Each structure stands twice: as structure tokens, then as C-alpha cells.
Amino acid sequence: MAQAKWIWYPGSFELYHGMLLLNRRTSSKTYANGTRKSVYYYPMWRVDGPKRNAILYKEADIDREEVIEFYSNCVDACISVDGLGYPPNSKILLKAGHHKVYVSGFKADSFPAFYIKGNVFASDRTYIVAPSDEYSGRHAGYSDLYTDISDKVECFKFRYKTVEPVSKKPINGGILFDFGKEIFGKICIDEGSENFGEVDVFLGESYEEAIDTDYSELMAHLVYKDEIISTKSMAFRYVFFKDTDKDIEIYASLEYLPLESRGAFRCDNEEINKLWDVCAYTMLLNSREGFFDGIKRDRWVWSGDAYQSYLVNYYLACDKDIVRRTTRMLRGSDPIKKHINTICDYTFLWICGIWDYYFYTGDKDFLNDIYPDMLDIMSFIEGRLGKDKMYERKSDDWVFIDWSTFDSNGPMCAEQMLLCRAYESLGKCANVIGDRSMATKCKKRVDYMIEQINLLYWNEDKGAFIDDYASGKNNVTRHANIFALLFDYTTEIRKEKIIKNVIFNKEITPITTPYFEFYELDAMCQLGNFEYFTDMLDSYWGGMLRLGATTIWEEFDPTKSGIEHYEMYGGKYEKSLCHAWGASPIYLLGKYALGVVPTKAGFESYTVTPNLISFNEIEGKVPTPQGEIYVKANKEEISVLSPIENGTLIYRGKKHKIKKDVMLTIKA
């Protein structure tokens, strides 16, 4: 018997759970009569649900007979073996020889899934979409989380753990509970609590938010009737029961995805160690059905945010399933009518993320499965290019880049660079797939775009790339210039000018979001400017920690104070205090301090280039699909232990072969 998996029409599982999560957002509203209610919040882009019908098949020769057993989550399902149909829960004997097996079904309220016990015909990715279907030939969808026949594909496999509050105190006529740090889960009323009837509960990432009940973002209305009741799963650290003197006891049922933090980092600076832990915790809270932006407000999956989460993941958990899930959720289904999340840069980054995934994991199956979707999305992009074949802004494009002020009415330089990067990524994927004509086409497009970018957007007076050439304003921001460094899209001379005129020029507005700090610091580290990196770790991330942050914020401006820190988008507490895009130090420390990077896809070969940066000692692990690579470095010696062949330790320009499973130690 082979290990069977639940299988479905490709993408169904991800679109189903993506649809649910996109529709879970609420916002709290105060009405004219003073009442405050939590109201459903409509998603900002088209939500694609899964197909309710599916038909998959497999054709194979078997040397010896096998008994297959057919199960489905649908009542309306059929397995057809060599032309004869059977209902679910049938056992069928397949004699040695050639067989053709179709599974089909319909499920109105979710999506059809199938489970076939067997040997050669056990259900897995080798089942493909049937010829009658318009996506004929694509491989069945599956998840590594759903391999047991008792698994319910409609129920996402979170785990739950009871967490008690660390304190409880009366305040403003109510009761405030503090769970000590930000968590995500259900708030449960203890059985022993007094019967209080109905009560409004107000949540807060900060205690100010929880008790400021006219403005707190999240709330729940509880009706207590002598039994344990709980809220839906939400994000909070503080829980406030307004206007009550009843004896209420609560706990939280933490809801989480059991991702193993296989990555690790320690150094002789305890603040940095703490920071790494806070980043890891932030990341784990946001790792759910897919990678979330933040756990409080929208709890949606955004492609730009996810792109960074993928990279952090390769240095923290290296979980392949969550990257695949997130990628599929973001892609949605056909027809593509708008950019992913309506944001053009996010579509470009979606393509880039797939190459990174393949490069870090070597998962060619997934690349193969998602490749047609990449081509379709590139067709969509190309259908909207300008006459000069460069990106042109359309009325329904959201041009994001970052929360910052740009000269952005015309086509922006940063967008062109991301589109160019998408072509680069697609070209590399095409090479792996063996789609030569696409690889060649992408190469030409990249060459052309780099030339055009340097022609249209470089301003010699400013010694920098400008946001946009159409307005004549010649406005310079950091963003496009950072991309030029990071993606290597200009000459060495121009790079030096950028570093001088933009990066180290205090008159150029600094980056305020951890989102773009990610790119800035990646570029700086790549150029060897580690001081800039460690300064930023201290001032920016350290700044949040010194204000008591238990998770990394959506944005941080050290010039603000008190509850000013929590304001965003015009709302007193709309800022998310647990935002995944703040976890970049994990990626940066893993890549540049521990120095582990693949040089061939899936660590078929790799290098380890440890760098103490500003530390005296570092030690850690980088997860790979084949296990963790351990690195330790101090002023005296460097050690590496790896479970993978073809590794090279590089230190002071010298290369040392790393033998699999043998600790390599060299003098520093």
C-alpha cells in the first residue's frame, strides 16, 4: 500500500480556505445611538472560490492486482474503473494489467475531494484533470497536511492550546485581562464565571486600544448561558469587559499552525537574540492558511507581504506547503481581470516568488504545476503594457511600492524594475521547465527593459533614478534606487552614485515601513554595508522592542510617542502591531550572518559565508528541505555541520569543501 493523500481539482483547497479567510474581516462601527457593533467587511478584490465540480483520472499498468478503496467528501461522487462507475465507499479489485480510473464529484458547499487507498492507484499528485475538462492534464491538488482518510479538507488543520491571562484588573468600571503578549485565538469564558447574560468584549493589541471602547478595532458580543462560550478566533493581547462587576474568568484557546522553527540564530548581543525571537514569533502568528499581512485587521493574504514571508520562511521553517498554498490563493482563478490584490507590483512579485520557491526548495513538481498559471498571468500583464512595451498605469491598477509619497501619476521606475524582475524570474522558470522560446523571450525583454529603465529614469544631475519621467518633477525616493542595487539593474558607477546620493543622503525621505526596510537592508547587505544593517536593527527594530513590542509592527516612526504609534489609515488603532513584513531580520541574519545560500536549486549545491558583522560570536541553523545546516562562528573559529552534499564554506575568499554530516571547523 502506498501513502494516499486527499486530492482535489488543482487549487480548490487553497481557493476554498482563501475565500474563507478573505471574508472573515470585520470592522467595528459606532452608530448614532451610541451602540458599537462588529460588521462584516467586504474584501477589496474579487474572491475566487473553488470549483464545485471535479473530475480527475489516472491511467496505468499494474504488474500485480491491487484492491482500491474509494472515499470522497461528496455524496455525489463516482469512481469509474475501466468504464464501470461505483459510488463512494466501494472496494474494487484491479487485476494485473492496464486500467483507467476516473474520480468525479460535486460538492455545493465546498469542493470535491477524493481519497483512494491502493498501491499504484493510491490518490496523489499523479492523478490529473480529465481530458473533457478545460484544464485537462494538470496535476491533482494535494497538501502534505491532508494524508489521513479521517482528515476533513474543509477544516483547516490548526492546533489549539489553552493560554491563561497573566493579569486581571478592574479599570474604568470594567475588567481588563492581559495575556502578556500578542496572541491569536478564541477568548473563552470559564465555566466557573458568574452568569452575566450578554456582554460586549473589546480587544486590544495595546491596553489603550482595549479600554478605548469607542475606537477599539475588534470586539465581540457574548451571550453567556451557563456553559463555556467563546469568540471567533481573533488577535489580541488585552481583553476588556466593559461595565461589569461580575466575577468573570477567561482563558484563550490559542489557534496556530504547528510550524517547526527549524532555523535558529544566537549571538552575543541579547537584544538581537530577543529581536530574532520576536521576529520568529511574529512570523509564526502570521503563518496560517497562507502567509497573512497581519493578524488583527484584515488578516488577508497580500502578495507583496507574502513575497517577503516566503524569504523569511526559507530561514525559519522552510515549510513548502505554506508557500504553495499562499501562491495558489493569490493566483485565484481565471479569468484574470485585475492585478493580484489589485496591486500591479504584487502581481510582479507573485512571479518572482515562484522562482525563489523553486530555488530554495528544488520542488520541480510545483513549478511544473503552477507554470501554466504563470504564463496566463504574464499574458494578462502584457495585454496591458504601453506602446513602448513598458509598464503603463491603468485606471484599475493600484500602484503601491510602499506607504510613501511618490511622483506616481505616470509609469513609475520602481514598477518597471519589478516587472523586469518578474521577466527574469519567469525566464529562469521557463529554463527549468524546458520552455525555450519563453526563456529566450524573457531574456530579450529583460535586456530591453534594463536599457529603457536606464535611459528613461536615470537623472544625471541627481545621480539617481527618479520616480517618474512624465511629470518633469525629477523626484527621487529611495525605492527604485534600492531595487537598482538589489537587482543589479545599473552600472557600478551609477550604483556608487546611488549609495552616495540616495542611501546615505539624509534629505531623501527615509523608509518608514519594515516592508521596504526589507529591500533596503537586503541591498545594503548584498553590497557589504553591514553597519547600516546593524544600526537599523538597533534603532528601528530595537526601538519597537524598547517600547514593549511583543511582535513587530506594521510601521514604526521613532519621532512619535504614546498612542500616536497605534494610529494608521486615519484610525486611532488601525495600525497592526503584529505584521509579518517586520520579520526580515531572520532572513537577513540567516543569509548574511550565518551566510547560507543555495547556489543550485534546492541546495543541490550551496555556499556558507559566515560573517560576524558587528558580533563577537554567532551560532545558528538554516533549514533546508534536506535538513538544517548548522553554523557557528567567533573570532577564533568557524564551524559548519550540514546534512547535504556539495556545500562550500567560504571564508576570507577561501573555499572549503563541506562534507555531508561531518563537522567542518576552520580557524578564523
Residues that bind its own copies (CB under 8 A): 19-20, 23, 27, 29, 31, 37, 39-47, 49, 51-53, 55, 74-78, 84-87, 102, 104-106, 108-110, 132-134, 334-335, 337-338
CA distances (Å), 266 to each of 143, 228, 459, 583, 664, in order?
33, 42, 43, 16, 19
CA nearest neighbour of 205 among 532, 554, 514, 475: 554
Distance CA 403, CA 615 (A): 32
Q: Which is nearer to its own copies, 50 or 353 (CB)?
A: 50
Residue 55 CB, nearest distance to its own copies (Å)? 5
DSSP 187-216: EEE-TTS----EEEEEEESSHHHHH-TTT-
| DSSP secondary structure letters along 242-281 | -S--S---EEEEEEE-------EEEES-HHHHHHHHHHHH
Of the pair 92, 446, the CB lying nearest its own copies is at: 92
Peptide bond into 335 cis (omega under 30): yes
Residue 219 or 259 having the CB closest to its own copies: 219
The smaller minimum CB distance to its own copies, of residues 46 and 246, is found at: 46
Distances in whole angstroms, Cα of residue 328 to Cα of each of 10, 142, 332, 460: 9, 12, 6, 42
DSSP assignment of 606-651 equals EEE----TT-SEEEEEEEETTEEEEEEEESSEEEEE-SSSSEEEEE
Q: How far is the CB of 300 from its own copies (least distance, A)?
A: 13
**514, burial (CB in 10 Å: exposed 0-12, middle 13-18, buried 19+):** buried
Closest to 421 (Cα-Cα) out of 394, 399, 442? 442
Find the shortest distance in angstroms from Cβ 584 to its own copies: 31
Residue 282 · residue 551 · CB < 8 Å: yes
* Distance in Å, CB of 43 to its own copies, minimum: 7
- Pick between residue 72 and residue 287 the one whose CB is nearest to its own copies: 72
- Identity of the residue, 266 or 338, whose beta carbon is nearer to its own copies in the bound complex: 338
Q: Say if CB 65 and CB 98 are below 8 A apart.
A: no
**Closer Cβ to its own copies, 76 or 277, answer by number:** 76
Shortest Cβ distance from residue 156 to its own copies (Å)?
Answer: 13
Provide, rounded to whole angstroms, the least separation between the CB of residue 221 and its own copies: 10
CB atoms within 10 A of CB 397: 18
> From the CB of 106, what's the least distance to its own copies, in Å?
4
Closest distance between its own copies and the C-beta of residue 42, in Å?
4
Report in angstroms how near the CB of residue 53 gets to its own copies at its nearest: 5
Nearest to 513 by CA among 568, 590, 561: 568
Cα separation, 5 vs 43, in Å, equals 32
Q: Closer to its own copies at the Cβ: 379 or 440?
A: 379
CA distance 630 to 56: 43
The CB-of-342 to its own copies minimum distance in angstroms stands at 8
Beta strand 605-608 with 647-651: parallel, antiparallel or unpaired? parallel
**What residues does 473 pair with on adjacent strands?**
none
User: According to DSSP H, which parts of 488-575 are helical?
Assistant: 492-498, 514-526, 530-536, 542-546
Q: Confirm if 143 and 328 have CB atoms less than 8 A apart.
A: no
Closest-CA residue to 235 (of 216, 215, 259): 216
Q: Whole-number minimum distance, CB 545 to its own copies, in Å? A: 36
The residue (of 123 and 287) whose beta carbon lies closer to its own copies is: 123
Query: Minimal distance in Å, beta carbon 238 to its own copies?
Result: 25
- C-alpha cell of 621? 541553523
In terms of CB distance, is 313 or 341 closer to its own copies? 341
Nearer to its own copies, 106 or 224 (CB): 106
In this complex, which beta carbon is closest to its own copies, that of residue 232 or of residue 500? 232
